[in-house]
Every structure is written in C-alpha cells, then in structure tokens.
Copies of this chain bind each other. A is one copy, B any other.
Amino acid sequence: MRPSGRTTSQIRPVTITRNFTAHAEGSVLIEIGDTKVLCNATVEVGVPRFMKGQGKGWITAEYGMLPRSTHTRNQREAAKGKQSGRTMEIQRLIARSLRAAVDLSALGENTITVDCDVIQADGGTRTASITGACVALVDAINYMRKEEIIKANPLKHMIAAISVGVYQGTPIADLEYVEDSEAETDMNVIMTEDGRLIEVQGTAEEEPFTFDEMQEMMALAKNAIGELIDEQKKALA
C-alpha cells in the first residue's frame, strides 16, 4: 500500500555520521531515507540574559532548509528578511525537546546551540533534526567533559523523534513526502529512551481523527523511536 512498499510500521534506513564537519563541537549528518539533515552543536560560554545569574545552562536550536533542499526552490529566509512561522515553530520544538533531555543545572552557565540545516528533504525533517541533534548534543557534552568545562554528565536520557500518521485510512510510521502530503493526520512524537513522552503534536489535515487512531499511531511511534535510539547508540558506541 505504501508507495515505497514499506510495511505500516517500517521506518526508512537510518545513517548517522558523526564529525561530519570539522569545526563544531558536535557535528552529525543524519539520513533517514532521502531526508538529510546536518546537525551542528556549538558550545559557548555564557547564557542568554533572561537566564543569567541562576548558575544554570541553556540549550537552544535553530532550523533552516537550504533553498533547494525541496522539490521546488523555497525563497532563502535570510534574503526574505525573516523566518517563516513554520521555521520558528520547528526550531522551538527542537530546542524544547533537547532541553528536556538535559539537567540544565549540571551544565554551568554555558549555552549549547544546535543548528539543524536540511540538506535534502523527503518528509520528517523536524523529527530527523531532533534525532540527529541529540547525537550532536552528546558529542558537545563529551567535548565539555573532556575540556573539563563540566564534571558530571548532564544528560538525563537520550531522546528521538518520529512522524506517524493516518494515510489512506491506515496508521503508518515514518511518512515520506509523498505520504505526508496526502495524509489525513500527521503526528510528531518525541520520546525518551525509557519510553516516556516529551512532546506529542497531532494534526488532522483532512478529517478529524479518533482516539483509537491516536492510540495506534502512538504505538507505532513507540516502536519506531526504539529503533532510532538503537541507531543513535550504535553511532555513539
């Protein structure tokens, strides 16, 4: 039924490449099928003004799509002079999720910024960004420990994210673009490695969805995220 021939619960092949670029403290290229996102984590001394003097750290994220990462070219946001609502929504989601993975008190007054730049898009760029960003975050934390910027490991748990949806009446996992653009419902789920929820965002694109459909999607998400966390751990091993 799926254009790719995948089963309803089958996610696309995942490749996680660490140290993809030279300068960032954590640099990860994550590929999920044809979706490719470069996640660079930067460690900087200091925190934004609203956090100063609390002895805690901060984690933030920015998201962008290269203009021709998509089928047709999107206008460059830097040239347009502002980020779209969609971009802002996504980078707020990534940042919030990463903060939920870390004990900010154990980070000192330092900031980690994760830049997620989509090199090629085929659906699920925001969830791939989160999954890749978590690995880049771990590398940045390792750098901080090695450089003795921090002592303890502030990571509370790995997190990963997947999109699930209802496509032609059937709940499926890891929608690619052709599925996503026709799905009745689209849901992004972010979970910890111990199976708890960080964020759930479900949207009826065409028809409202039922509590039962939601349950089925949640089950697919749980399963997929388990696989993604395995991939993260393999990459970090």
Contact = CB atoms under 8 A, between A and B. Distances in A.
Interface in A194-218: 194-204, 207-211, 214, 218
Given A92-B85, A211-B218, A68 B197 contact: no
Given A89-B92, A210-B197, A120 B22 contact: yes
Contacts of A22: 34, 120, 122
A66 interface: yes
Contact of A23 (B92, B120, B199): B120
A185 to B, nearest CB: 8
B204 A100 contact: yes
Interface in A61-79: 62, 64, 66-73, 76-79
A66 B202 contact: no
Interface stretch (A8-16, A111-119, A141-149, A168-176): A111-119
Interface residues of A, number: 67
A76 B62 contact: yes
A233 B81 CA distance: 37
Contacts of A72: 42
Contacts of A69: 21, 23
Interface in A15-71: 21-24, 27, 34, 36, 38, 40, 42, 44, 62, 64, 66-71
A80 B208 CA distance: 33
Complex copy number for this chain: 6
A202 B62 CA distance: 21
Given A23-B68, A88-B85, A73 B200 contact: no
A81 B81 contact: yes
- 6 nearest A-B residue pairs (beta carbon): A196-B208, A77-B78, A85-B88, A40-B68, A200-B202, A42-B73
Interface of A: 21-24, 27, 34, 36, 38, 40, 42, 44, 62, 64, 66-73, 76-83, 85-89, 91-92, 96, 100, 113, 115, 117, 119-120, 122, 157, 187, 191-192, 194-204, 207-211, 214, 218, 222
